[in-house]
Amino acid sequence: MNGRDNRKAKATVTGANMVFFNFAVLFILSQIVLLFIIVVISAFYGDYYAKDFLKNNIYIITFINEYVLILAPVLIYAFVKKLNFKEVFRIKKPGFIPSILIVFMSVPAYFIALMLNSIVIYFLQFIGDIPLQPIPVPKNLSELLIGIFFIAITPGICEEMMHRGLLLTAYEKRGTLKAIVITSIFFGLFHFDITNLLGPIFLGLIIGYYVIRTDSIFAGMLAHFLNNAIAEIFQYFANTGVEPEKIVITNQELISIILYGIAGAIILGILLFLFKKVTKNKYVYKPPIANTGKDIISIVTHWPITLIILLYIFMSVIYLISI
């Protein structure tokens, strides 16, 4: 094989699954180490200092998770396998009009994802107390900008390189639509959080659609960044100075969230229609190579994915027991 062929190596499903599995293992191990540290701090200094440690270091933890556990394995795999970087990761301009539409679609998409997660949380709160995520609420503009960098910009780059970069391209061999659906489910599992499963799956669907239609990973990065930035900005403006220890969603709040989600779905549907019109000549649709049943069996029985699913179930059970 000559040097030209090496540069044009393709991403494989097996290789992409292994990268995803490596992340999962490293993430679980990092959580065990973090839990050990918190237990030690709690034993010697009390629960208050243990919670304080987590909150004060959450951005450092996020940085390590994103750049070391997620982005690094993707780049190492791409380098070792001599992948065609520009082709695999779709390093192309998404276009001005599609980008503007993605900006406008981000708010309604956020409310749909919020609705889906809120429905899950609403029912889980009858099992036990749902703790807040240990993400600092920004109290001023400088804290907001720092939060946006770690919570929005960083995941927008690192997580998109894995999911809408390596995984989406590898699974596209099974068909374009199947690749979008499969990687969106992986995106949900990737968070290892039962309260944050349906929202990411939905976002994975529409972000994957953006990337395919524009043939650009930057469309996915933009959408991912905007979703997380909107959440951070909402937290900033909703800050009352008092941080509750648990999430409580009342019946009235759930109804309001669902109404916002329905309104968001209507607006998003209209904007997606326009998005489809302006991107109709920018992508190549790949048909499925097997029926859906065979694909499902093939995917879930591939040992890296089987173990990831089992790890997710295990983490979910532990979470439910703990609340």
pLDDT at 4: 44
pLDDT at 288: 86
Banded pLDDT at 60 (limits 50, 70, 90)? very high
| Mean pLDDT score, 127-148 | 90
Let me know if 239 is exposed, middle or buried by CB neighbors in 10 A (0-12, 13-18, 19+). Answer: middle
Portion of the chain with pLDDT greater than 90, in percent? 78
Banded pLDDT at 7 (limits 50, 70, 90)? low
Q: Compute the distance between CA of residue 230 and CA of residue 79 in angstroms, rounded to an integer.
A: 34
pLDDT at 53: 84
pLDDT at 8: 66
pLDDT at 77: 97
Considering the chain, what is the average pLDDT of its residues? 93
Question: What are the backbone dihedrals phi and psi of residue 94, each rounded to the nearest 5 degrees, phi first?
Answer: -75, -15
Q: Is the pLDDT of residue 34 over 70?
A: yes
269-273 long-range Cβ contacts below 8 angstroms, 24+ apart:
271/101, 271/104, 271/105, 271/108, 272/105, 272/206, 272/209
| Mean pLDDT score, 107-111 | 98
Nearest Cα to 203, choosing from 95, 108, 277, 271? 108
Q: Compute the distance between CA of residue 41 and CA of residue 45 in angstroms, rounded to an integer.
A: 6
Q: Compute the distance between CA of residue 294 and CA of residue 36 in angstroms, rounded to an integer.
A: 42
Q: Compute the distance between CA of residue 232 and CA of residue 145 in angstroms, rounded to an integer.
A: 9
Residue with tokens 């190579």: 289
Contacts of 281 (CB under 8 A, 6+ apart): none
Q: Is the pLDDT of residue 5 over 50?
A: no
Question: Are 165 and 71 within 8 A, CB to CB?
Answer: no
pLDDT tens-digit series, residues 203-262: 999 999 999 999 999 999 999 999 999 999 999 998 876 777 789 999 999 999 999 999
- At position 86, the amino acid (one-letter code) is K
Q: Is the pLDDT of residue 6 over 50?
A: no
pLDDT at 285: 85
Nearest Cα to 207, choosing from 228, 229, 222, 192? 222
More confidently predicted of 1 and 101: 101
| Mean pLDDT score, 129-134 | 85
Domain boundaries, the chain: 85-322
pLDDT tens-digit series, residues 254-313: 999 999 999 999 999 999 999 999 998 888 888 888 788 888 999 999 999 999 999 999
Nearest Cα to 247, choosing from 149, 151, 126, 142? 126
Q: Is the pLDDT of residue 143 over 60?
A: yes
Nearest Cα to 247, choosing from 151, 136, 125, 139? 125
pLDDT tens-digit series, residues 77-99: 999 999 999 999 999 999 999 99
Question: Are 311 and 22 within 8 A, CB to CB?
Answer: no
Q: Is the pLDDT of residue 48 over 90?
A: no
Q: Is the pLDDT of residue 149 over 60?
A: yes
Nearest Cα to 155, choosing from 104, 223, 235? 223
Q: Is the pLDDT of residue 323 over 90?
A: no
Question: What are the backbone dihedrals phi and psi of residue 257, each rounded to the nearest 5 degrees, phi first?
Answer: -65, -40
Q: Compute the distance between CA of residue 69 and CA of residue 63 in angstroms, rounded to an integer.
A: 9
Q: Is the pLDDT of residue 3 over 60?
A: no
3-state helix, strand, coil in the chain (%, to 5): 80, 0, 20
Query: What 3 state SS string does 212-262 have?
Result: HHHCCHHHHHHHHHHHHHHHHHHHHHHCCCCCCCEECCCHHHHHHHHHHHH
Q: Is the pLDDT of residue 51 over 80?
A: no
| Mean pLDDT score, 11-21 | 96
